[in-house]
Structure 1
Amino acid sequence: MIQKLLIANRGEIACRIIRTAREMGIATVAVYSDADAKALHVRSADEAVHIGPSPAAESYLVGEKIIAAAKETGAEAIHPGYGFLSENAEFAEAVQDAGLIWVGAPPSSIRAMGLKDAAKKLMREAGVPVTPGYDGDDQSADRLKQEADAIGYPVLIKAVAGGGGKGMRKVDAEGDFLSALESCRREAKASFGNDDVILEKWITSPRHIEVQVFGDSHGNVVHLFERDCSLQRRHQKVIEEAPAPGMDEATREEICTAAVRAGKAVDYEGAGTIEFIADASEGLRADRIFFMEMNTRLQVEHPVTEEITGVDLVEWQLRVAGGEAIPLKQDELSIDGWAIEARLYAEDPSSGFLPSTGALDWLDLGVEGRIETGVEEGDEISPFYDPMIAKLVAWGEDRDDALDLLVEMAETTEVWPVRTNAAFVANALSDNDFVAERLDTGFIAAKGDALIPSDKPDDAVLRGAARIAMVANDDQPQDLAGFRLNRSPRHAVALSHRGEVKTVELDDTPFEPSLTGFAEGTRIVVFDNGSAFGFDTETRDSGAATAGDGAILAPMPGKVIAVDVAEGDAVTAGQRLMVLEAMKMEHALTAPFDGTVTDLAAATGGQVQVDAVLCVVEPSAD
């Protein structure tokens, strides 16, 4: 048994691994960058070692520093979590060469599955069904075009070293192929240093079905059934569930048996996932489910598998890495109930899903279900790493029970001032088509703005904010669920939201039970079904509060790197006013209509918080 473990990762997965290690009596070592000096995973571990500056390329991706930290602390093993170095065969070999235990897939397995073309050939030889397409060595544009024509359009171009949606292009017509190929190769070369591609037949009603497999050094490979990860936004998973909706026993047996063959074909050890693409145009059928790729690591969505099988996959990883056999045989594994997971991200759906960073001044994820997180109230969402706040996981006797619980978890999530996708997730889970199991990978894109919550408070939220303001001014308790303000005559409260003032008249109408909130100084915050709305009870001196839609607000915390206008300047609709830098990206803020710039509060080099009024554009007189 491993006695001391270093976790070469951060955030929620590091906390997840630490929890299981502690239950097993294994001491833990965390590593951290400058940005993570006070992070939860650092506070949770028995020891912690600083490994460099905030950028991952200078800390979490520097294998030498991580191995040195293990040596320094006497750790026997390194667990890479997911992301970062988890599927880096060279790092895995370096760990083993240093005399340490690598809690992950063998380097040979990582290499075998690292390139999509080689992996497909290997799977075909192992009798695993693969998507019709081309993965040959001839990478000339003419040959690829010839193969695409033979496959038939639409066709999918995929970089052999791609991932996360990069290096991928759908081509609908023959005349578009060569330009799409050039674009795909250019992106693949820049992202992965490899511009080779494969071609696949485009699946018209695709479902993303994956199978959890597990192998050991004794030659055993088992599966722990399937997950459905079809709800994705821009090729990034948002909601995952196990088992897969609409999966019958015969099809499950076929796909899971194929996944085990895939694992055995590469002498797999540890936790891995075989990802399949299913043509669900006529439901899930074994003859229409094709191998896509293998992830040679633990997956973000592994909790749903744990919930339906009762297995701790991290514990299995640690035992198998220590030389033990898999704890259970295939016939000892079964499905119990249903589990669904949603990824809670720090992002603003109403602003194009822009990442939202900064301090978590208020964080309440409730007490229901399973919460996997790497932050606590008062921590920060850093611009340097993935903006996931938590994973919300619900289990139920059946899909409806799990779904109801997860909707409740999303709707009662309270985060401020960082924006989240909680209300967006709740809307997706509550959508009639999702409830009815009518889903595919294009679900979110097809729904469009229908799933995006409004960023404008409705009358109930405004009344709630006004009541909180009045109670706060009277120094009364602020637990307002079901609160009734018994006053007469009517009272009015002026509230400013994103630069727009509304006067709310109050009577003795009950406070909406679904609303919660708090007051802090002149700021009122109301939570409503996963959304958060901030109000000011004092008019801003800048005059922005009366400017209506002409108030230019910071969409996220960031740094002003350019100001193109001065007070009094006449501007036209769409004209750039200034540029904000956040999350390593530049965001141009433009004039909403023709008008004149007033109340300019932004200066080059200045740091701003979300919703700060940067200037006002007063509309031109008609």
Structure 2
Amino acid sequence: MITSLLIANRGEIACRVIRTARTMGIRTVAVYSDADARALHVRMADEAVHIGPSPARESYLVGERIIAAAKATGAEAIHPGYGFLSENADFAEAVIAAGLVWVGPKPASIRAMGLKDAAKRLMQQAGVPTTPGYLGDDQNPDRLKAEADAIGYPVLIKAVAGGGGKGMRKVDAAADFADALLSCQREAASSFGDDRVLLEKYILSPRHIEVQVFGDSHSNVVHLFERDCSLQRRHQKVIEEAPAPGMDPATRAAICDAAVKAARAVDYVGAGTIEFIADASTGLRADGIWFMEMNTRLQVEHPVTEEITGVDLVEWQLRVASGEPLPKQQDELSINGWAMEARLYAEDPAKGFLPSTGRLEIFCEHEGVRLETGVYEGAEITGFYDPMIAKIVVHEETREEACEALARACAATDIFPVKTNAPFLWRALDDKDFRAGRIDTGFIAAKGDALLPPAEPTDDMLKQAAAALLVQEYYGEPTLVSPEDGDLLGAPQREPWRGAIGFRLNAATNLRTAVNVDGRAHVVDLPVDWRSAPVVAEPVDDGVAVNDDGLSFLAAPARVSGAAAGTAADGAILSPMPGRVIAVEVAAGDSVTKGQKLLTLEAMKMEHSLVAPFDGTVAELNAYAGGQVSEGALLARVERAGE
């Protein structure tokens, strides 16, 4: 058995691997960049090694530094986690050549499945059904356009070396193909160093079903059943569950058998995932499911499989890498209950899901759920890496119970001041169609604004904020008491308190007060008999952080009346977050039309387009490709036509 392990990753997956290694008595070594010097995975490991500056390409993606860190600390093995170098066959070979144990599949298996076009050809030879498309070597834009026209729209452009939703574009019409191809190739080159693409027929009512497979060096291969990862936003998974809703035994047997066949075709060793696309228009059927790709690593959503099978997949990885056979055979594995996972991201749904960065002044962990995280209260969320804060995982007897438990956990998420997608997750989980299992990969897009939290605080939220401020400021009159037991919940002025509070207002007359919520003043009336449901409210330096169904906001005594000032001048294009300008589409003096793309920003591994707010002329341009910008920076200014 391996006795010491270096984890070549960061965040929640590094923490996840460290926990299992610790229970197995394995010494752990973490690696970290400048930005991660105080990260949780660094604190948890037995030893930690600094490997470079904050950008991943200068630290976590430099295989030589990681191998050197393993040698210097006496680590026997390297676990790559997921992302970064986890599916890099050259890195796997370098680890093995250095005399270290690679906790992952054989480099040849990684190569066989690493390029989507070659993998699909291999699966066709192995008898695994694949989606119609173009897998050719000719990458001439005219040839790709002709193939797309022949396949028929909508068509999906996918990076050959892609993953995680990167380098993927849906094209609805022939006129949109050229721009989509260019954007896809640029993102693929940036993310994977390879701009080649393949084309697939886009399934109009698709579900994303994947099967967890596991092989060992003794020719054993098993599956651990399926997961449904259909709830996606911009091709990025948001909510996953196991098993898949609506999956009957015959279809399950067919898809799982195909997954095992795919793994055997590449002599697979270790944890892997076979991803399928299913046509859900008439329900799940064995003849309506096709192979998409294989991920030759552990998946972000692996906890839901662990919950329904009772298997620790990281422990299996370490045992198989040590040369042991699989701990269980196929007939010893079964599905027990239902598990769901929600990905909690540092992003603001009210602002188009733009990344949100900053210090986690409040980060209260959930009770009664499995929380996979790589942060802690006081940690810093930077713009250098993926914006995922945590994975919230529940396991219940039925899907209905799992859905309810996860919805409650998302609604109770208490994070401040960093914005999160928690209120969006709660609304998705509470949706009647999701509860009924009527889902496909277009679910989130189809629901649109119905899943978004209110752009402005509701009247009840304002009352809760006002009452929370009164608790902070007063002891005595007005009195705030628990509606359940009548106990006083007020406290001496400025005495620290935090947590869920229920209010009943006892006053001789109605109260009117001014409350500033996230920079905007509101006048709030609190009637004599007003009550609120329990609300999470916690003191912070500038006032009170209030949480309502996962939506956190700052409430402070209003110092001015009316709306907050300081908005940008009409036509000013401001950077919505810190990032890097990767493309500038216009020049100063150009005429532009409303909605026309002006420039593109990249932050947290995502592209964000900024467009003209109206017809006019680019009067000022302060951005250039490759430039770093801060939040709120004036990038351009458009003068309205006719002015």
Q: 2:503 touches 2:534 (CA, 8 Å); kept in 1?
A: no
Q: Who is 1:289 aligned against?
A: 289
Per-residue CA deviations over 1:48-79 (Å, capped at 9, x if unaligned) read 11111111111111111111111111110110
Give, in angstroms, the shift of residue 140 of structure 1: 4.8
Q: 2:575 touches 2:630 (CA, 8 Å); kept in 1?
A: no
| Cα 1:369–1:271 shift into 2, 3 Å | same
Q: Who is 1:364 aligned against?
A: 364
Give, in angstroms, the shift of residue 481 of structure 1: 2.4
Per-residue CA deviations over 1:100-155 (Å, capped at 9, x if unaligned) read 00001111110000111110111111111111223234445565455444433333
> 470, 485, 488: which one pairs with 2:505?
485
**What CA distance in whole angstroms lies between the structure 2 residues aligned with 1:134 and 1:250?**
30
The yes-or-no answer on 1:82 pairing with 2:102 is no
Q: Who is 1:157 aligned against?
A: 157
| Aligned partner letter, 1:201 | K
Q: Who is 1:524 aligned against?
A: 544
Q: Who is 1:410 aligned against?
A: 410
Q: Who is 1:35 aligned against?
A: 35
**What CA distance in whole angstroms lies between the structure 2 residues aligned with 1:368 and 1:107?**
40
| Cα 1:185–1:45 shift into 2, 3 Å | closer
| Aligned partner letter, 2:333 | L
| Cα 1:285–1:384 shift into 2, 3 Å | same
Q: Who is 1:354 aligned against?
A: 354
Q: 1:345-494 counterparts in 2 under 5 A?
A: 345-474=345-474, 476-477=490-491, 478=497, 481-494=501-514
Q: Who is 1:262 aligned against?
A: 262
Q: 1:525-604 counterparts in 2 under 5 A?
A: 525-539=545-559, 545=563, 547=565
Bigger shift: 498-507 or 399-408?
Answer: 498-507
Give, in angstroms, the shift of residue 306 of structure 1: 0.2
Q: 1:524 touches 1:537 (CA, 8 Å); kept in 2?
A: no
Give, in angstroms, the shift of residue 470 of structure 1: 1.4
Q: Please state whether the residue corresponding to 1:210 is helix, strand or coil.
A: strand
Q: Who is 2:93 aligned against?
A: 93
| Aligned partner letter, 1:481 | I
Per-residue CA deviations over 1:526-578 (Å, capped at 9, x if unaligned) read 100110121221416xx8855498899999775999xxxxxxxxxxx99xxxx
Structure 1 unaligned regions, length at least 5:
562-572, 593-604, 613-622
Give, in angstroms, the shift of residue 195 of structure 1: 3.9
Q: 1:500 touches 1:549 (CA, 8 Å); kept in 2?
A: no
Q: Please state whether the residue corresponding to 1:482 is helix, strand or coil.
A: strand
Q: Who is 1:311 aligned against?
A: 311
**What CA distance in whole angstroms lies between the structure 2 residues aligned with 1:511 and 1:365?**
27
Q: Please state whether the residue corresponding to 1:244 is helix, strand or coil.
A: coil
Q: Please state whether the residue corresponding to 1:481 is helix, strand or coil.
A: strand
| Aligned partner letter, 1:218 | H
Q: 2:355 touches 2:604 (CA, 8 Å); kept in 1?
A: yes
| Aligned partner letter, 1:135 | L
Q: Who is 1:198 aligned against?
A: 198
Q: Who is 1:616 aligned against?
A: none
Per-residue CA deviations over 1:272-325 (Å, capped at 9, x if unaligned) read 000001111111111110000000000000000000000000000000000000
Q: Who is 2:124 aligned against?
A: 124
Per-residue CA deviations over 1:300-353 (Å, capped at 9, x if unaligned) read 000000000000000000000000000000010000010010000000000010
Q: Who is 1:502 aligned against?
A: 522
Q: Who is 2:103 aligned against?
A: 103
Structure 2 unaligned regions, length at least 5:
476-489, 492-496, 582-593, 615-626, 634-643
Give, in angstroms, the shift of residue 165 of structure 1: 3.5
The yes-or-no answer on 1:226 pairing with 2:246 is no
Q: Please state whether the residue corresponding to 1:485 is helix, strand or coil.
A: strand
Q: 1:359 touches 1:379 (CA, 8 Å); kept in 2?
A: yes
For normalisation by structure 1, the TM-score amounts to 0.87
For normalisation by structure 2, the TM-score amounts to 0.84
| Aligned partner letter, 2:359 | A
| Aligned partner letter, 1:513 | A
Give, in angstroms, the shift of residue 368 of structure 1: 1.9
| Cα 1:501–1:75 shift into 2, 3 Å | same
| Aligned partner letter, 1:412 | A
**What CA distance in whole angstroms lies between the structure 2 residues aligned with 1:340 and 1:307?**
9
**What CA distance in whole angstroms lies between the structure 2 residues aligned with 1:438 and 1:489?**
50
Q: Who is 2:50 aligned against?
A: 50
**What CA distance in whole angstroms lies between the structure 1 residues aligned with 2:221 and 2:115?**
22
Q: Please state whether the residue corresponding to 2:281 is helix, strand or coil.
A: coil
Q: 1:394 touches 1:402 (CA, 8 Å); kept in 2?
A: yes
**What CA distance in whole angstroms lies between the structure 2 residues aligned with 1:125 and 1:154?**
27
**What CA distance in whole angstroms lies between the structure 1 residues aligned with 2:245 and 2:98?**
45
Give, in angstroms, the shift of residue 501 of structure 1: 1.7
Q: 2:34 touches 2:53 (CA, 8 Å); kept in 1?
A: yes
Q: Please state whether the residue corresponding to 2:153 is helix, strand or coil.
A: coil
Q: 1:159 touches 1:196 (CA, 8 Å); kept in 2?
A: yes
Q: Please state whether the residue corresponding to 1:434 is helix, strand or coil.
A: helix
| Cα 1:469–1:339 shift into 2, 3 Å | same
Give, in angstroms, the shift of residue 365 of structure 1: 3.0
Q: 2:535 touches 2:547 (CA, 8 Å); kept in 1?
A: yes
